[in-house]
């Protein structure tokens, strides 16, 4: 849901989604407004509004959904969390939350970790036991392109990136064409297939995951899913959380992207696998003491922003998809092109065709009080109506100067969160 203005504590209706706004207050230049807050009701001299009460600049930030800020209900949950030591495995809030996610994903056990990267890397390290071994994934996968080469350093594994033949997502045929089986000594056998869902906002269909899962099991290959944004595929109706997760030996799920938790991801899998991952987590300094301060907030992120049912039908996340589609339409109606269809919360503007480089686009964004990084615009539930309006003005400016724009090249890779 795109939050907008709060008029005297009365919920407003978003002109972009037609839905009631959450009572979060932001002004259109990104500064915090002194209007009323739903949970705190009013700022008082003894209890002034804090950063927890408003998305602040996140309401104007399209760079990533990692930008989402934790909210007051999370702070309240933190206040009510248990404060025991999780390395001793004594923190009840954490144990309950891990049990809750294990149950919601149809897995035996779960482990809270600091980040999506940590979840993926612990999963790979725990599945991979003996060199030579390799991981097969999409050539654009986060584990290959954006985890600082962690699979090489932590697991001594070769990561092999396959190009989807349909140009969209990996199919069983792509996996079969790229997998390394057997023990011929030139090869580096595939021991894990890692699927990313969503990948750049694109959904991997459940049927395809099922086919790859059957193939992986037949060949004794572990199937991991980087489900940092699996929530988005689910709320879009691609399948339930359980449907997707049960096909995989492990899944990592992020709470700190579109769901807005301050920190954390969850790794799910079998008991023995989670025990090993807990061990590796300790080895890399990821065993935390009073973990409840993180897991309590992450639970609120799941229940409020994804939702309490298996399809995320009653959370706020789904509204970000409607806003993304609206933004995509504004751009294409103006004559702009998209480099990918808008399936979930990401809009991919084809900036090259529009004659503008990433840095020039980012600079133009700044002029309009927006944060953008590249043609990838990520919509999250804290994006404001004002930000969408400003984006439209920015888009008009790009399209109107299209023919005269300098044709300089974009040099260097953009790393996405
Ligand atoms: C698909 C995907 N997986 C994993 C990660 C890593 O998450 P984190 O930044 O929490 O390490 C990201 C980060 O944005 C991501 O987009």
Q: What is the pLDDT of residues 375-411, one digit of tens each?
A: 999 999 999 999 999 999 999 999 998 555 556 666 7
Query: For position 416, what pLDDT does the model report?
Result: 82
Tell whether the model's pLDDT for residue 80 goes beyond 90: yes
Residues 41-51: tens digit of each pLDDT: 456 777 778 89
Residues 119-171: tens digit of each pLDDT: 999 999 999 999 999 999 999 999 999 999 999 999 999 999 999 999 999 99
Query: For position 46, what pLDDT does the model report?
Result: 76
In CATH terms, is domain 1-54+316-412 a member of 3.40.1010.10? no
What CATH number does domain 77-306 carry, 3.40.640.10, 2.60.200.20, 3.40.50.11540, 1.10.3720.10? 3.40.640.10
Q: Whose CA is nearest to atom 7 of ligand 1?
A: 116
* 184-191 average pLDDT score: 97
Q: Which atom of ligand 1 is nearest to the CA of 66?
A: 14
Instruction: Give pTM, 2 decimals.
Output: 0.89
Numbered ranges of CATH 3.40.640.10 in the chain: 77-306
Query: Would you state the structure tokens that stand for residue 259, as one six-digit string?
Result: 């769901």
Query: For position 143, what pLDDT does the model report?
Result: 98
In 3D space, the residue among 410, 386, 395, 380 whose CA is nearest the CA of residue 6 turns out to be: 386
Return the ∠ at Cα 109 (arms to 132 and 288), rounded to 5°. Answer: 85
For a substitution probing ligand 1, which of 135, 142, 344, 345 has the most ligand atoms within 8 Å of its CB? Answer: 142
The C-alpha atoms of residue 354 and residue 352 are separated, in whole angstroms, by 5
Residue with tokens 């699996």: 230
Q: Which atom of ligand 1 is nearest to the CA of 115?
A: 10
Numbered ranges of CATH 3.90.1150.10 in the chain: 1-54+316-412
Residue 254 near ligand 1, beta carbon < 6 Å: yes
């Amino acid at each position: 849901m795109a939050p907008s203005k709060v008029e005297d504590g009365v919920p407003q209706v978003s002109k972009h989604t037609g839905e009631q706004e959450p009572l979060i207050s932001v002004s259109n230049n990104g500064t915090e407004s002194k209007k009323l807050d739903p949970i705190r009701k009013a700022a008082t001299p003894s209890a002034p509004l804090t950063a927890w009460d408003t998305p602040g600049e996140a309401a104007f930030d399209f760079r990533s959904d990692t930008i989402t800020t934790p909210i007051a209900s999370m702070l309240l949950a933190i206040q009510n969390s248990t404060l025991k030591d999780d390395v001793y495995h004594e923190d009840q809030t954490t144990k309950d939350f891990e049990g809750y996610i294990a149950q919601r994903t149809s897995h035996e056990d779960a482990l809270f970790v600091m980040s999506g990267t940590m979840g993926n890397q612990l999963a790979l390290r725990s599945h991979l036991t003996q060199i030579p071994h390799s991981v097969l994934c999409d050539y654009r996968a986060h584990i290959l392109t954006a985890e600082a080469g962690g699979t090489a350093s932590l697991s001594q594994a070769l990561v092999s990136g396959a190009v989807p033949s349909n140009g969209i997502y990996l199919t069983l045929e792509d996996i079969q064409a790229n997998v390394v089986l057997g023990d011929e000594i030139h090869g580096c056998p595939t021991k894990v297939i890692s699927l990313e869902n969503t990948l750049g906002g694109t959904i991997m269909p459940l049927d395809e995951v099922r086919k790859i899962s059957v193939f992986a099991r037949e060949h004794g290959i572990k199937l991991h899913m980087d489900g940092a944004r699996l929530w988005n595929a689910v709320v879009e109706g691609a399948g339930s959380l359980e449907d997707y997760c049960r096909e995989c030996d492990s899944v990592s799920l992020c709470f700190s992207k579109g769901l807005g938790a301050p920190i954390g991801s969850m790794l799910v899998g079998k008991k023995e696998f989670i025990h090993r991952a807990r061990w590796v987590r300790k080895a890399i300094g990821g065993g935390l003491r009073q973990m409840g301060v993180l897991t309590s907030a992450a639970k609120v992120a799941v229940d409020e922003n994804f939702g309490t049912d298996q399809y995320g039908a009653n959370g706020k996340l789904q509204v970000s998809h409607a806003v993304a589609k609206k933004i995509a339409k504004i751009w294409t109606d103006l004559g702009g092109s998209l480099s990918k269809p808008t399936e979930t919360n990401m809009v991919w503007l084809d900036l090259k065709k529009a004659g503008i480089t990433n840095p020039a686009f980012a600079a133009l964004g700044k002029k309009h009080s927006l944060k953008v990084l590249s043609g990838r615009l990520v919509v999250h539930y804290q994006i404001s109506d004002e930000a969408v309006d400003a984006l439209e003005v920015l888009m008009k400016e790009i399209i109107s100067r299209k023919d005269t724009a300098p044709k300089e090249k974009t040099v260097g890779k953009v790393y996405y969160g």
